[in-house]
Amino acid sequence: MAFFDRFKKNKKDQDVNVEKRKQNMLQDAAVAVAFAEAGEHETARSIIDKSEGCSKILVIGREDSFSELLVEYSVDMAKRLGFELMALNVLDAPLSLSTGKREEATALFQANSAKNVTALKEQAENFGVSFDHLVEVGQQDEVLNKLHAKYPGMRYVLTEPDPVVAKKSKGKVAIPVFDLGCSHGAAA
């Protein structure tokens, strides 16, 4: 009977907290290879499938909006690759304001962002692409690092083209695409 006592709560009735482990593609691959060599092919496949997670494309607009070019390019890319889209509006300007003005500027930014993302959301839905929208206030690099850690399946980041370059090139603009596939242990 002592064996089953191990599964009961301890004397203080404390719960055990289990945290999700960080994904490590190389470690998962090594474990999957070991299972495959032992003849456990289904287990190996399930390990690789869990390691990959959902593949996402982060689309960063210019402050509270997304250009038509960025909308079309990001939805087309997500559809071709079978990825999910995550739109991000990020602004750092309110951080330098006083508390009252910061709250007012943040609320206005959030409202404008929600209104301006509708074209991207509708186009994604029309093409059957999974879509999510985030609005953040903070330094863009810090926000990106936080999201990259939170969503290990994030593979690509698309941004608005430089407006100065866009004016000079008269409509022949390339969308900047950044590949995060080699940045940490997530497979995409």
Q: pLDDT at position 20, please?
A: 47
- Alpha-carbon torsion 66, 68, 74, 79, what sign? positive
* Residues 39 and 70 placed together within one structural domain of the fold: no
Residues 6 or more apart whose Cβ sits within 8 Å of residue 59:
66, 70, 74, 85, 86, 87, 88, 120, 157, 158
Its domain, for residue 43, covers 23-52
> Which is higher by pLDDT, 159 or 100?
159
- Alpha-carbon torsion 108, 62, 73, 85, what sign? negative
* CA proximity to 94, closest of 138, 60, 64: 138
pLDDT tens column, 143-164: 998 998 888 788 899 999 887 8
Residue 44, in any domain of the structure: yes
β-pairing, 56-60 vs 154-159, is parallel
* Domain count along the chain: 2
> Which is higher by pLDDT, 36 or 113?
113
- Calculate mean pLDDT across residues 23-41: 76
* Residues 61 and 38 placed together within one structural domain of the fold: no
Q: pLDDT at position 148, please?
A: 85
The answer to whether residue 14 scores a pLDDT higher than 60 is no
* Residues 36 and 115 placed together within one structural domain of the fold: no
Residue 3, in any domain of the structure: no
Q: What is the DSSP string of 158-170?
A: EEPPPHHHHHHHT
Q: What gap in Å lies between CA 92 and CA 94, rounded to an integer?
A: 6
Residues 6 or more apart whose Cβ sits within 8 Å of residue 95:
102, 137, 138, 139
Residue 172, in any domain of the structure: yes
- Calculate mean pLDDT across residues 20-42: 73
Q: What gap in Å lies between CA 35 and CA 179, rounded to an integer?
A: 31
* Residues 94 and 58 placed together within one structural domain of the fold: yes
Q: pLDDT at position 15, please?
A: 54
The answer to whether residue 6 scores a pLDDT higher than 60 is no
* Residues 73 and 44 placed together within one structural domain of the fold: no
* Residues 113 and 173 placed together within one structural domain of the fold: yes
Say if residues 19 and 47 touch (Cβ distance below 8 Å). Answer: no
Residue 109, in any domain of the structure: yes
Please give the single-letter amino acid code of residue 97: L
Q: Which of 14, 32, 52 is the last residue of a domain?
A: 52
- Calculate mean pLDDT across residues 54-68: 90
* Residues 31 and 76 placed together within one structural domain of the fold: no
pLDDT tens column, 122-149: 999 999 999 999 999 889 899 998 998 8
Say if residues 152 and 184 touch (Cβ distance below 8 Å). Answer: yes
